[in-house]
Structure formats: C-alpha cells, structure tokens
Amino acid sequence: MKKPPVAVAIDGPSGAGKSTIAKSLAKELQFIYVDTGALYRSVGYMALRDGINPGDAEAVQALLPRLRMQIRYIDGAQRVLVNGEDVSDKIRTPEVSMAASAVSSLPAVRRFLFDLQRDIAKTNNVIMDGRDIGTVVLPDAQVKIFLTASAEIRAQRRFEELTEKGEMVTYEAVLADMEKRDYDDSHREAAPLKAAEDAVLVDSSSLDLQQTVAVMKAIVEKALG
C-alpha cells in the first residue's frame, strides 16, 4: 500500500524566520514548501486593488467568489496565481502585510482558503508554514513546530529585509506594525495564532539562521524516524 504523505507544520508569528527555514528544510527533505501567508496576502492585495477596505467583512466576502486562487511551483518556488495572474511579487509590501492580517481575521476568508491548503497536503509531502497549520489546517501533521522570537529581534530582521529591497521604512514603524499584527493575529476569534498542544516550541531569538535550521532539522528527523 502507498504510504500516506508526510506533513510538517510550522506556525509562529511574522518575522520568526518560518519561511526561510521551511524553504531550506523542504529542499533537504525534498518536500514541497507551502507558504500559506502568501494566500492571505493575495486576498488582501486583491481587496486593496479593488479599492476595498480589507477590514470591511461584507465587501471582502463579496470579492471572494470572483477570485480563482491557484498555487504553482516554478523552478521549485511557490507562485500564487489569482485569476491566472501571478501576484507573488506584489504581495510583499508593508501595506499588503497589514491587509493580509485584516482579511485573515474573517472566517469567510479562512474557509475560502482551507481546501486549497488541505488538498496540497493530501497528495504531497509538505512543509507548510502559517499561523493555524498545526491547529486547524493539518491537525494530524506528523511534525508540528511553533517557531518564535522576541518582537524586537523579528522587527530588526524584517527591517533589514525590507531596506535591502529598497523599501523606505524605519525600524520603529516595522516594530509597531509587527506588534499590531501579533496582537491582531493572536486575539482574533477565527483560528488565532497559537501553538498546537503537541507542537515543539523553538525560540530563535538567540540563534542565527543556520543554528535555527539545525535545531528544526533535528526535531523533524527525530519525529520522522
């Protein structure tokens, strides 16, 4: 009998390094990396583009039936297509981050994106990162990790990432955005950010990237045997 696919769920607040680490682990394990934040970002982006306030539940809900979301892998990298358009490069701005956080608090949006996330894991070995992967999307994942770091460290890392890309931001503004998103993401009613009871906790505040990858790799290898 064919073995069922393996799932590794990585949850945690923004800027903890989930995506960089998950990508690197996925490569080593030859699993597919699924960045679920990109889906919420794409919905937030489409709302902004349509002139919709991302906090307006009714207007966002009315937009959903007009969005055909697809995930594709091009040269191993995830791309998100909305109505056939690749929006992957347009969803990384601070404005879209805030819009993503707003739309992600809407149960209708979470329901809308649920099947897409689940279906990928039905037929592929995946490393999936997000906020509710171990708790809601893949509660039966063989490995669950909750990756976190202090808000100051996460803001510093995000600040460096954004300035490298030429975004005009200040550290204080990035920290303020991050604290607001942390608060909103963990206090919303629908699938709030929290560690699954059976998740292994990793705090990357005093670890560099390589060290964090090594710690996470050891957890995954131990769990998968």
Point out which span in 46-54, 62-70, 94-102, 210-218 binds ligand DC (CB under 6 A). 94-102
- Residue 181 binds ligand DC (CB under 6 A): yes
Tell me the three-class secondary structure of 192-218, residue by residue: CCCCCCCCEEEECCCCCHHHHHHHHHH
Site string for ligand DC, 120-159 (x = CB under 6 A): ----------xxxx--------------------------
Give me 15's structure tokens: 């800027």
Element (H, E) at 152: helix 151-164
Element (H, E) at 142: none
- Closer by beta carbon to ligand DC, 165 or else 222: 165
Q: Measured from the CB of residue 172, what is the shortest distance to ligand DC in angstroms? A: 19
CB 205 within 8 A of CB 149: yes
- Residue 185 binds ligand DC (CB under 6 A): yes
Report how far residue 45's alpha carbon sits from residue 27's, in angstroms, rounded to the nearest whole number.
28
CB 196 within 8 A of CB 11: yes
Point out which span in 1-9, 50-58, 63-71, 96-104 binds ligand DC (CB under 6 A). 96-104
- Closer by beta carbon to ligand DC, 170 or else 186: 186
Give the residues lining the site for ligand DC (CB under 6 A): 14, 36-37, 40-41, 97, 100-101, 104, 130-133, 181, 185
